Structure 1
Amino acid sequence: MNDQDQKQLGKTLWNIADQLRGAMNADDFRDYMLSFLFLRYLSDNYETAAKKELGKDYPEWQELPAPGAKQDGSRMLPPLLAWYANNPDDITAFEKQMRRKVHYVIQPPHLWNSIANLARTQSGELLNTLQAGFKYIENESFESTFNGLFSEINLGSDKLGRKYEDRNTTLCRIIAEIAKGLAEFSSSIDALGDAYEYLIGQFAAGSGKKAGEFYTPQQISDILSAIVTLDSQEPA
């Protein structure tokens, strides 16, 4: 990603944040924005490895057998969801291989593409799915390394809405816009770092603080270091 793309990515994400945070203060919205950004990185890294592992058996997006299904992806079944549905007897062996090679597992409904698809279709199950996904990633995905990863965001907060339906609608809008804004940009670890750096500076300025007060949380720094280190090693 060149310098121009880095700047454009940062500006795109900041514009989304500025438009969508409403009455929520910058500190609170920052936690949601950066958590979703990190989920996207983990998901893309995982799906790239899954595609390599499954080879020709990795499916394309599949049209759902539902009235009004469209070819633009808005009513489509993401690849790993389709593979899990069609290969239930092979899931355990596949996840064992993924833990050995990419060092963590994310269930298909919790991957960024699946979450973004729920957001685009305004699914009433988005919030429940996101809560279940964060819990799984923290507790079961990567031994104890992901514990507390998403502890800074409260999906049940009244700042998202007083009722479940209101919070779900707010999250659908936020995630759909983030997914749309990120679609044309790289999901590499360098791009993630660039986006973090830009957003931290913008959120700091917006809240009247110095950028140094918004360092990337140590939890995320440690996880990124662990992933990079493990990815450089050959599987046992």
Structure 2
Amino acid sequence: MAPERVRGLLASATTAQLVTAHETGPVATLLPLTWRPDAAGGLGSLIFHVTRVNPVWREPYLGDALAILSGPDGYIHADWYASNGETPGVPTWNYVTLHAYGPLVIHDDPAWVRDAVGELSRLHGYDDGRVDPAAHDRLLRAIVGIELPITRVEAKDKLNQNRTPEDVAGAIAGLRAAGGDDLADAMEQVSVPHAAARSELVDDVRRRRGVPRP
């Protein structure tokens, strides 16, 4: 996945499965998040918070944590491919995913937690300044902040880039008809130019070898 796609997915993600390893085994926790970019050009940090009763922040960790961020995904019907009428194939599942790794940093500091919660509230269009200050402070004392400074990512766009432009166009049209606009948009951005470049390369190789286009 291109660096700009990685940053776009980090910026647009609203939740992640935070996976941590402990002596008792792995734990997965679905959490809302915000992404704080790194001014120095790094990958930045993922910001979470949990209630104090959640053991994930208290149990010792074994190694780095993993945050699994999911983009759009969906079923691709084989009949959507233009080539399927002549050569029936099989359906597939397209998806966008990103795995972010890094050490967990626990923030049990009221000011840090307040900033993190306010940042998340603003991201979703809510002004938490409307809450009574005493009640707000009481609620903040019940949660703990978690930061995952991202040290590396593994990201993948699996979006039919290996298909012909005609097959990609058919899949996009099928998705839009089925209400899968988010996945169709991702394919427009990634698969359409990739499939076009691949088709042009294949045609060029055929021309050089004197092989007619099928």
TM-score by length of 1: 0.21
The structure with more strand, counted as a fraction of residues: 2
The structure with more helix, counted as a fraction of residues: 1
- Say which structure, 1 or 2, has more relative contact order (CA 8 Å, 6+ apart): 1
Radius of gyration: which is bigger? 2
TM-score by length of 2: 0.23
